Every structure is written in C-alpha cells, then in structure tokens.
Chain A
C-alpha cells in the first residue's frame, strides 16, 4: 500500500539555523508533491508544490527538493524564526482531481 513517512519526532532548532524536514514515500510514483504548514486547531496552509521533473523549488526562505529515485523530498527553512514553529505536512497526489494523501507531519519548534 502507499505509504508516506515523515519524522514523527519533533525537530527543535535554534533561531537563525536551517531546519530540514524529510518526507519519504513507498509504493507510489507521484506526479507532484506538496508541502503544507498546519498550526494547532487550524487547517493546513499550502507552501510549495514541486513536480516530478523538478529537482528543486524555492520560495523566499523555503526550499524543497524532490528525488524520485530515492522517493524522497526534503523541505528546508533557512534563517528560521520562532514564527516558523508549526507542523509541516507533505502530501502526494494519487492521480487526477487533486486527490492527495498526507504524511503525519513533523512538528518544528524554533527557539529564540
């Protein structure tokens, strides 16, 4: 069955450092992968989308890589700030009509 794995352990980093979150998947070949941010008690907010033929995508302090051979995506936040503290979810398309399956998310805590 399709499986998405994100590090279930919380990631604690110091303000100003780069946070790197990992998303691994098995038994699937997605055409694209998305990253979302979710704050407690809120719905997810879209951050970045990367297609299978793209190696890297950037948006301000965010960078996403997509390695279809390793079946892995890395999500980086540079110059992290306490306001970046949240849970970050990766999601894969499962074919047509924008149907997505989500990983469980990694909680990031950025300390001053």
Chain B
C-alpha cells in the first residue's frame, strides 16, 4: 500500500516552455503533499508544501510564480515549471503520506521523480 505515482518520469524541452508534473497518491488520500528538487549528489531540497484546497506554502528562496502548485483533489498535486530555463534542469520529486495531521509522524512515500532537462 501507500503508493505515490509521478508523471512524467523524464522531460526534455526547449527553454521558455512550461512543464507540468503530476503527483498522485494511488491508494490513499493526502491532504498534504511535498515537492522537492535534487541536484546530482546533493540532498533533497524542499520546495513547497502542497495543501489540498488551499494555497501552497513555499520555502524561502523558491519563486511561487515560477513553480506553480495546484492540489485540486485529495489524490493529485501538480507542479508547473513556468517558462523553464536551463538552470531549472533538475530531478523533481514529490511525496505524500496517509493520515496527515498537525502531530502526525508518518513516513513519507515518494514518487520516482521527474528528470527535467531544459535545452
């Protein structure tokens, strides 16, 4: 159980294109999902917390107009990289957990990531 699916797994596109990445919880509902980016041999950096039915919470230094997050249902969050440039090339990963709550300490279940390459 607790499977998170991420799509697409790999994207190559031209500079200036907007790219949408989907994150789905397949067998549970998630009021909160998280988006990370990871550069080679570096840590996962939390970008934002996606909240179902409300605005996402962005980490310091992450441009909310650049990285648009929509969490329209309890099983789907999307991250759109708008007007992508080569410096946005990275590995983007989402995570979610069943039973989210203020004091919840559940393990996070991760998607398999999306490798984004901007030419």
Chain A positions within 8 Å of B, measured between CB atoms, are 4, 31-32, 34, 36, 41-46, 49, 51, 89, 91, 93, 96-105
Contacts and interface: CB of A to CB of B under 8 A. Distances in A.
B105 A43 contact: no
B54 interface: no
Contacts of A32: 105
Interface stretch (B13-21, B61-69, B81-89, B93-101): B93-101
Nearest to B34: A99
Interface residues of B, number: 30
Contacts of B102: 96-97
Given A43-B112, A89-B44, A104-B43, A97 B32 contact: yes
B49 A97 contact: yes
A91 B112 CA distance: 18
Interface in B88-116: 91, 93, 95, 97, 100-113, 115
